[in-house]
Structure 1
Amino acid sequence: MNLYDSVIEVLHTVHDPEIPVNIYELGLVYEVKVEDGKVNVLMTLTAPACPAAGDIIFDVQSKIEAIEGVKDVHVQLTFDPPWSKDMMSEEAKLELGFL
């Protein structure tokens, strides 16, 4: 498995404590770039005032840092474009009863 795939796999283990679906399937991860062991993640939250924001970002950062071969991690938060339920995977929509 390459480093990019390992990062995606780890992102599937990060959850918003208020929603029983991982952040990747929720569509909160906008972009993942991996180059020479450096990982950049561009992501959002379900709401700008999300009370779990710090925990989620810490979880993303620490889990990616633990991957063998990762030298540096940068997690950037954005609200452009704003998150919507349309960004969720079909699996997440099914799990949350939106389909």
Structure 2
Amino acid sequence: MEEKLMKALHEVLDPEYPVSVVDLGLVRGVAYEAGKAKVRLTFTSLGCPCTEIIKEDIRNRLLQVEGVQEVEIEEVFEPWSAENISPKGRLILLQLGVT
């Protein structure tokens, strides 16, 4: 089930760039237990203005996964850096002119 959750999260795009929250390195873990999807999520900065939009998009997408009745998002403020971006995410950003 965790694989299905991650696949779904690859469809959730950052509000500022067309890169998934997974490829940006924001998703730090997923779990599933008794109908509840649990997501560990960090942000690029403590003052990120898009936190609520990202959390709502994650919640809406995961509730579409068969078997998920509830979504719990745990905000973890683990240090984030550009090193957390996947190769796919880096390619998309480079194509957009973001370095």
TM-score, scaled to structure 1 = 0.86
Counterpart-to-counterpart distance in 1, 2:17 and 2:44: 10
Paired amino acid for 2:75:
L
Cα deviation 1:38-93 (Å, max 9, x = unaligned): 211001111211111111101101211121111321011121x2111101111111
Paired amino acid for 1:91:
K
Unaligned runs of 5+ in 1: none
Unaligned runs of 5+ in 2: none
Q: Confirm whether residue 87 of structure 1 aligns to residue 84 of structure 2.
A: yes
Query: What is the RMSD computed on CA atoms of the aligned residues?
Result: 1.6
Identical residues among aligned pairs (%): 35
Write out the 4+ residue segments of structure 1 that deviate beyond 3 Å after TM superposition: none
Matched residues, number: 96
